[in-house]
Amino acid sequence: MTKETTNEPDKKKRVNLAYIDATNLDKALRRDLKWKLDYRRFRIWLTEKYKVERAYIFIGLIPKYKNLYTHLQDCGFILAFKDVIYQDGKPKGNCDSDLLMQASSDFYEGDLNKAIIVASDGDYAPLIRVLQNRNRLEAILSPSMPAKCSILLKRTGASIAYLCDQRSMLEYKEDKTGT
C-alpha cells in the first residue's frame, strides 16, 4: 500500500509565526524612541513581509488595559497573558519564559516553519540559537536602536532588522480629519 492510499493523517502544515515581547516592544518604541506603533499596520506588515500566519503578543494582564487587549485582538494578534505582580507599585509581568515555551511547543509540535522574534532582549539568545540550528529562524525584529539591542542577540549571527528603520510605515498617526 502506498502512502497516498493509507489512512495516515496528513502532515501538519508548518506556518510562519511571530513571537512578540510586548514590554520590550513598548519600552523601546514609546519610552526610548518616542513613537507609537500602529498595531494594525504592524500586523499587516508582518503578514506581507514575513508571511506570518499567527502573531503572538506576550503581555501582562492588567484589567485597566482591556481596551488595548481588545484592539490588539481586532488587529489580528493572539494575546498570551501573563499574571502581573507589583513591585514598588509598578506592574511586573516578565513574559520571557512564556514566549520561549510557546516557540518551543510550536517547534516540537511541528507547527513552526519560520519564527520571527520581536525583542531586543539577550534572554532570547538560546532560543535564537536553537531555531538557527534547525533552520527555523527567519529574523529577529529589534524594537531598539542597534546600539541598544543586546550583544547576546548580535553574537548569535542571526539576521536582525530594526523596527526604527520602518518608522515611516509603522508609526501610528492621529487621524486629524475627525473621521
The domains located in the chain, with CATH, are 19-111+120-170 (3.40.50.1010)
Nearest to 117 by CA among 46, 14, 28: 46
Residue 15 confidence (pLDDT)? 96
CA distance 25 to 88: 22
Crossing angle of helices 125-133/96-108, nearest 10°? 10
pLDDT in tens, 27-49: 899 888 899 999 999 999 999 99
CA distance 97 to 103: 10
pLDDT score of 8 more than 60: no
Counting every residue written for the chain, the total comes to 179
Task: Determine phi and psi for 44, rounding to 5 degrees.
Answer: -65, -45
Residue 87 confidence (pLDDT)? 87
Place of cell 546600539: 147
Residue 75 confidence (pLDDT)? 97
pLDDT score of 5 more than 60: no
Nearest to 99 by CA among 56, 61, 37: 56
pTM for this model (two decimals):
0.89
pLDDT in tens, 48-106: 999 999 999 999 999 999 999 999 999 999 999 988 888 888 877 778 999 999 999 99
